[in-house]
Chains A and B, each alone.
Chain A
Amino acid sequence: AQSVAQPEDQVNVAEGNPLTVKCTYSVSGNPYLFWYVQYPNRGLQFLLKYITGDNLVKGSYGFEAEFNKSQTSFHLKKPSALVSDSALYFCAVRDFTGGSYIPTFGRGTSLIVHP
């Protein structure tokens, strides 16, 4: 079985400050991990993914995420937030040893960046 948790419903940060959106996962094997972003009244867009290799993954719009196997986490980060980063962020996991190619999504975290 695979699952993902996003412990914060909402994250507030001031423009220019660093931001972190948290994600923890549970798989029986090894994970593929993904972050997607959803802007108002739009579908989800891919940001970045971890498959293997370097634990620090860089993605679109200046975002990055760090894979931590011991803590089973994949937190999304950005050094300096922009107001335009305000959106809904979803973490997703797939256990690539589990025989299913379907990812499981978290409940989403609303990021609000204040001017």
Chain B
Amino acid sequence: DVKVTQSSRYLVKRTGEKVFLECVQDMDHENMFWYRQDPGLGLRLIYFSYDVKMKEKGDIPEGYSVSREKKERFSLILESASTNQTSMYLCASVSGTGLSGANVLTFGAGSRLTVL
């Protein structure tokens, strides 16, 4: 089975701290995603990456950055955490290139971040 592992399930950080959320997948998928999940708002795409060192902004990139130095790892970075970034963060990956839209995303278990 494809596995997407998010290293931190629960984090509590203080306003202004730099936060790293790590995601690793073990199936050589080209494409990786970071979503934010909030009640009533569903999943909102923060950033995605279709190759090593490549990244594209999603719908809500403000306040976030990403890093993809290796194919299997996609990191989400909050440069200076704020209380409105308290949320559940979901990482996902999928194989294939742009025309393989029928492929299914595989999600990690999520990282619940609380910013005080």
A residues adjacent to B (C-beta < 8 A): 9, 32, 34, 36, 41-46, 49, 51, 90, 94, 96, 99-103, 105-108
A43 to B, closest residue via Cβ: B107
In whole Å, how far is A36's beta carbon from the nearest beta carbon of chain B?
8
A32 lies within 8 A of B102 (CB): yes
A46 lies within 8 A of B99 (CB): no
A46 lies within 8 A of B96 (CB): no
A32 lies within 8 A of B42 (CB): no
B107 to A, closest residue via Cβ: A43
Chain B residues positioned under 8 Å from A99 (CB to CB): 98
B58 to A, closest residue via Cβ: A102
A43 lies within 8 A of B109 (CB): yes
Chain B residues positioned under 8 Å from A34 (CB to CB): 104
Tally inter-chain residue pairs, CB-CB below 8 A.
63
User: Count the B residues whose beta carbon is within 8 Å of the partner chain — how many?
Assistant: 30
Chain B residues positioned under 8 Å from A44 (CB to CB): 43, 90, 92, 105, 107
Q: List 25 A-B contacts (CB under 8 A).
A: A32-B102, A36-B105, A43-B4, A43-B107, A43-B108, A44-B43, A44-B90, A44-B105, A45-B107, A46-B106, A49-B102, A49-B104, A90-B43, A99-B98, A100-B101, A101-B31, A101-B96, A101-B97, A101-B100, A103-B101, A105-B43, A106-B42, A107-B40, A107-B42, A108-B43
6 tightest A-B CB contacts, nearest first: A43-B107, A107-B42, A105-B43, A101-B101, A44-B107, A94-B101
Q: Does B34 contact A (CB under 8 A)?
A: no
B109 lies within 8 A of A42 (CB): yes
Once bound together, how far apart are the Cα atoms of A106 and B42, in whole Å? 6
Q: Does B41 contact A (CB under 8 A)?
A: yes
Chain B residues positioned under 8 Å from A32 (CB to CB): 101-102
